[in-house]
Structure 1
Amino acid sequence: MKIDLKRRLGLAFGALIAMTLPALAGICEKRDFDGQGYVICTLTAGQEPGLRLWLNGPDGRTLGDFTAVRRTLAQGESLGFAMNAGMYHPDFTPVGLYVSDGVSQHDLVTAGGGGNFGMLPNGVFCAGGARPYQVIESRAFAKAAPDCRLATQSGPMLVIDGALHPRFLVDSDSRYIRNGVGVSPDGQTAWFAISDRAVTFHQFGRLFRDGLGARDALYFDGSISRLYAPGLGRADFGRRLGPIIGYVGQN
């Protein structure tokens, strides 16, 4: 009942926001794939400069939610969408690489380990580099050392060079609401997706590979996954977040 109440409050709050902010050209849409519902937020190459990554506010404290992110925006700016963008420690610091506005605040981690982050191969989402958008396996990223205006590391990879992660099982009983990002083969389009209901890694990976045509895709997180999409009247509440990624446009 608590989860349902939070979702209802989030939808109501999102509806209020939708009446006060522009929809920013319908960036996010509801879509069904293979019997499951998702929200997909799509950015093209020309929108890359508006993509931002947040962690701390001007006072150095963790922002933690979408309302706090919106408070950081300048006059005339609107938040088109936002979602959690990678795993974090109990103090909200990123587990892996974190680069915002070209400044690295946490280093790349290439070692394996426990949990989803350590289920190698994991990867990095990079924007503003040689291509507008890239998802790169972490060890390949360490060798290539590409320039990124913003980057966030998470794991596991969902799709690697057109193949699903080798440890994903069709009949897995591990199901969560999950979110992540995939990139088109030419790097000109990025898809940010969240499931409506609990799905397996295999189902979520297939959304990116078979439903969207992504050659590479990266898992952000599960169970804590949250979305802000004013064009859909949605503003999820929940526990505080670490890194948050989103698109900022002009009123």
Structure 2
Amino acid sequence: MIHTKPLLAACILVLGLSACDQPQPGDPVIRTDISGEKGKEIARADESTKAAPSPSPTATPSETATPEDSACKPVRFEDAMFTECVADPAKHHVRMVLGSPPYRSLAKFSASLAKDAPPVVFAMNAGMFDGEGKAIGYFVENRERLHELNLNDGSGNFHMKPNGVFYGTGGTWRIKTSEDFYSTVGDRPDFGTQSGPMLLIEGKVHPQISEDGPSKRIRNGVGVDRDGKAHFVITASPVSFGQFARYFRDVAKTPNALYLDGTVSSLWDPARGRMDTRADLGPLVVVETKE
């Protein structure tokens, strides 16, 4: 995300927040600074190898009832709750939205929809952004590129290489590392968002993500399975990067998965009446019923 103020200044503004604590060994790479008013959480590659909880043989559906017409379902995995929303290219259309000025919340985006707009199946925040809510990496909305691919180095999650791009045209959706995207994708897709880090790369957890660092956040991300379906996942409580990555590997079974954000993670699921109320978001991904 953004890095417009030194860490010391951020900590002075928010004394007492754990985000400004001195980095500890085993602290996963995270970033939550979105406005300069929150402490930045700096990327670390020296995470400990603290033993992870024994994986559940299979994830179990929550006892909470889920409406049949919702694409989202609550799932318990390793003693934590996740919500997994599946977009099927046979039934759904995916697009990125930002707004001008950026909507900054799911509620404002919802209020902007025309009465004859395709029904929204679900929507989620989708990628890193600056203090105004604008994307800081590759971002394509309705085939218009609003930001070019960002291959710069830096601190924070976004620059924890490899990061990646979630993109698609029509019913073909993919996730590639940013370097692979740069080398192999020549045509502009219908939609695209760059974020980071990658959680899974060809079925393997990102090499700088430990099994379970002590720093935990509510997180959201996306993975694409071998059938081409996109799995959008958000946690109900703070989890480590390692546990989050394992969910995509062991439950969603997506060979490639991309971290979208943490702490500000938000979901709109109309079928279940869920509208998360964060008002400091950036790019959004919207899944609609295919016309």
After TM superposition, the score normalised by the length of structure 2 is 0.73
Alpha-carbon offset, residue 171 of structure 1: 3.3
1:53 to 96, 103, 106: 96
Task: Structure 1: state its 5+ residue gaps.
Answer: 1-22
- Cα deviations by residue, 1:82-129 (Å, 9 ceiling, x for unpaired): 110001011211110000111100010112210000000000001216
Give the secondary structure class of the aligned counterpart of 2:103: coil
Task: Structure 2: state its 5+ residue gaps.
Answer: 1-66
In 2, Cα distance between equivalents of 1:112 and 1:163: 23
Alpha-carbon offset, residue 72 of structure 1: 3.0
Q: Which residue of 1 aligns with 2:180?
A: 140
Give the secondary structure class of the aligned counterpart of 2:175: strand
In 2, Cα distance between equivalents of 1:210 and 1:46: 24
In 1, Cα distance between equivalents of 2:128 and 2:272: 26
Alpha-carbon offset, residue 42 of structure 1: 0.3
Change (3 A) 1:204 1:171: closer
Q: Which residue of 1 aligns with 2:75?
A: 31
- Cα deviations by residue, 1:206-235 (Å, 9 ceiling, x for unpaired): 000111110000000001101111222211
Percent of pairs identical after alignment?
35
Q: Which residue of 2 aligns with 1:13?
A: none
CA contact (8 A) 1:160 1:217 kept: yes
Change (3 A) 1:115 1:96: same
Alpha-carbon offset, residue 25 of structure 1: 2.6
In 2, Cα distance between equivalents of 1:245 and 1:233: 18
- Cα deviations by residue, 1:26-61 (Å, 9 ceiling, x for unpaired): 21111112221111110112234x2121101xxx31
1:220 to 246, 257, 260: 260
Aligned residues: 223
Q: Which residue of 2 aligns with 1:73?
A: 113
Letter in 1 for 2:241: F
Alignment map for 1:87-236 (pairs within 5 Å) = 87-128=128-169, 132-147=172-187, 148-186=189-227, 188-236=228-276
In 1, Cα distance between equivalents of 2:278 and 2:151: 30
In 1, Cα distance between equivalents of 2:276 and 2:191: 24
User: Which structure is higher in strand share?
Assistant: 1
In 1, Cα distance between equivalents of 2:114 and 2:91: 18
Change (3 A) 1:250 1:189: closer
Letter in 2 for 1:55: L
Give the secondary structure class of the aligned counterpart of 2:121: strand
In 2, Cα distance between equivalents of 1:250 and 1:151: 18
Alpha-carbon offset, residue 24 of structure 1: 8.4
Change (3 A) 1:141 1:24: farther
User: What stretches of structure 1 move > 6 A for 4+ residues in a row?
Assistant: none
In 2, Cα distance between equivalents of 1:119 and 1:162: 18
Give the secondary structure class of the aligned counterpart of 1:46: coil
Letter in 2 for 1:190: A
In 2, Cα distance between equivalents of 1:120 and 1:25: 38
Alpha-carbon offset, residue 169 of structure 1: 1.1
| Rg larger for | 2
Letter in 2 for 1:32: R
CA contact (8 A) 2:95 2:190 kept: no
CA RMSD of aligned residues (A): 1.8
In 2, Cα distance between equivalents of 1:79 and 1:119: 32
- Cα deviations by residue, 1:4-29 (Å, 9 ceiling, x for unpaired): xxxxxxxxxxxxxxxxxxx7832111
In 2, Cα distance between equivalents of 1:98 and 1:245: 11
Letter in 1 for 2:246: R
Give the secondary structure class of the aligned counterpart of 1:185: coil
